[in-house]
């Protein structure tokens, strides 16, 4: 929490330099997962990058959501997100402070989601609690809901750039698939960024998983 409280400006410049927000939006614009009336939760919403990318993609495709909600542990990140919402006169996104390892603190209606997304946050969950975090997220999904995770890839570039500089855990595809299966997810696949944003694949994985096998 302290790291991102002190480095919000650096974080935003860092992700924008690589076209990360635009890459997320392009992914959602092309995704078959989107449909009208979705109940959506952003786990670790931070400054709102993935929530706003998803909202823009839904709007472009004419698919109004039913619910857009998000939570984050860091008050400074949430305040930056709320500032953006106020500046853009957006009033259909609700955000709260919460810890992904203590989801019981969320309001009781915050469950049965059709789609849960998370981007660049689960890297900061202790490695030995990663599966616990995934189980908690899965418990918030509707029976046939989906979870889409954007998370840093373990490779020689991300080791100094993300693992060391941002003090984050990074994962191989095998490690992620194993963790998702231990958490009870089904139909685990790895998505791709659209062609013009393929450079983001050097940074991270897109994991797409269902709550049930149907």
Distance from C-alpha of 133 to C-alpha of 161, rounded to nearest angstrom: 24
Average pLDDT, the chain: 89
Q: Is 25 helix (H, G, I), strand (E, B) or coil?
A: helix
Instruction: Quote the pLDDT of residue 202.
Output: 87
State pTM to two decimals: 0.90
Q: How far apart are the first and last CA of the chain?
A: 37
Q: Is 129's pLDDT higher than 80?
A: yes
- Given CATH 3.30.43.10, say whether it is the number of domain 2-210: no
Residue-wise over 10-28: b if at least 16 C-beta within 10 A, else e?
ebbeebeeebbbbbbbbbb
C-alpha angle 3-165-167 in degrees, rounded to nearest 5: 60
pLDDT digits (tens, 9 = 90+) for 144-163: 999 999 999 887 877 766 76
Instruction: Quote the pLDDT of residue 159.
Output: 76
Helix ranges restricted to H, 37-172:
49-60, 75-87, 130-139, 158
């Amino acid at each position: 929490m302290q790291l991102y409280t002190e480095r919000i400006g650096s974080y935003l410049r860092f992700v924008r330099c690589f076209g990360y927000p635009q890459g997320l939006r392009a992914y959602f614009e092309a995704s078959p997962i989107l449909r009208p009336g979705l109940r959506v939760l952003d786990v670790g919403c931070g400054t709102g990058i993935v929530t706003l990318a998803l909202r823009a993609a839904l709007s472009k495709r004419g698919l109004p959501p039913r619910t857009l909600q998000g939570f984050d542990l860091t008050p400074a990140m949430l305040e930056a997100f709320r500032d953006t919402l106020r500046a853009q006169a957006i009033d259909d996104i609700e955000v709260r402070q919460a810890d992904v390892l203590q989801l019981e603190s969320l309001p009781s209606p915050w469950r049965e989601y059709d789609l849960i997304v998370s981007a660049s946050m689960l890297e900061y969950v202790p490695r030995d609690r990663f599966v616990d975090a995934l189980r908690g997220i899965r418990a918030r999904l509707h029976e046939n809901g989906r979870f889409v995770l954007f998370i840093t890839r373990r490779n020689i570039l991300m080791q100094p750039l993300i693992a060391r500089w941002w003090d984050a855990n990074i994962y191989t595809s095998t490690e992620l698939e194993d963790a998702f299966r231990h958490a009870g997810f089904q139909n685990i696949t790895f998505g791709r960024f659209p062609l013009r944003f393929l450079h983001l694949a050097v940074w991270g994985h897109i994991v797409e998983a269902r709550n049930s096998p149907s």
